[in-house]
Structure 1
Amino acid sequence: MKYLAIAFSGPSDSGKTSLIVKVSNQLQKKYEIAIVKHDPSDKATFDQEGKDSWKFAQTGAEVLVVSETRTTFFSQRRKDLDEIIRTIGEFDLLMVEGLKTLPLPRISIFRNKIDESYFKYSNAIAIDDSINVNDYNIPEDITVLDLNDTDAIIDWVIKNAKKVK
């Protein structure tokens, strides 16, 4: 597995982040994982207000903070998927939270109710037992996954992730 990508979408508080964390924690044991999160309200900040790296970011420059164990990069420019992939460098699996129009295989996550407007972007949906699938007209080409069965979701991810590099 090398240079594969998959996306996760869903309404706020549906469990996207929790699912990505579970999948990442499990796959991290064998693979290099990268995660991209969409910030639709443009509220992400770099470091804490008043710190040097925060001050640098306020200039609008591209800022990298380098230590012995990590490099933190905060870009002031929007990047397309190819630029993101080049920036990340080496990875086995890239997981994208949000950005539902990116042309990637996608699992949409729902609790309590399904927003059918996501169907046009989804290859699978992950739901819990708060949803009765019989209440919805789920297209036949969309796989229904149990949100609480991380192993089954990982199997689907590995089988369906798209080669991106």
Structure 2
Amino acid sequence: MKKRLAVAFTGPSNSGKTTLILKIARKLIHDYKKEVAIIKHDPKDKARFDVEGKDSYKFSDTGAEVIVTSPNRTTYFSQKHKDLDEMIRLFDKFDILLVEGLKNLPLPRISVFRDSLDPAYFPYMDALATDGSIYMSRYDFPKDVAILNLNNCEYVIEWIFKNAK
């Protein structure tokens, strides 16, 4: 079995996490020919994946575990919290797992920030991806945290290959 890598991304809303993950996933899939899996944490339960009134919504609303399959996709709706290992088992195969959120997971973590930093994230970050809009001298920034260019996807991928778990 080949080695699977996993890395997590954290940061405040609208910091650019999703955009960075999308760029990385596309590059890994198209340029590196990697199988990529993504897990997104929705801590405020805001994400909406189904439309009220449709059959899949009605099935899911019963509390059942539901899989909706079509010629182009399969979607899994669960009414139960899954830990990381359970979520990983849902994916048959992947080379790289990208996790958005879940800052308490024991994974190498890239924090994404623009304009200002929240020091509360320092204990959870292994790398900081930023766009140069932060005055780093204003912070007592940890010395062992790598600083990555948010706009240089290739450099972020290199860090992932070296540091992902």
**TM-score of the superposed pair, with normalisation by structure 2:** 0.94
SS of the residue 1:95 aligns to: strand
Within-5 A mapping of 1:15-164: 15-29=16-30, 30-162=33-165
Unpaired segments ≥5 residues, structure 2: none
Aligned partner of 1:114: which letter? L
| TM superposition outliers: structure 1 runs of 4+ over 4 Å | none
SS of the residue 2:110 aligns to: strand
Is the CA contact 1:47–1:54 (under 8 Å) kept in the aligned structure 2? Answer: yes
For residues 48 and 3 of structure 2, the distance between their equivalents in structure 1, rounded to whole angstroms, comes to 30
SS of the residue 1:140 aligns to: coil
Identity of aligned residues (%): 58
Is the CA contact 1:36–1:95 (under 8 Å) kept in the aligned structure 2? Answer: yes
Is the CA contact 1:31–1:92 (under 8 Å) kept in the aligned structure 2? Answer: yes
**TM-score of the superposed pair, with normalisation by structure 1:** 0.94
Shift of 1:70: 2.1
Aligned partner of 1:25: which letter? R
User: 1:9 aligns to what?
Assistant: 10
Is the CA contact 1:46–1:57 (under 8 Å) kept in the aligned structure 2? Answer: no
Decide which moves more: 1-10 or 139-148: 1-10
Shift of 1:68: 2.3
Count of matched residue pairs = 162
Is the CA contact 1:46–1:53 (under 8 Å) kept in the aligned structure 2? Answer: no
Shift of 1:53: 0.4
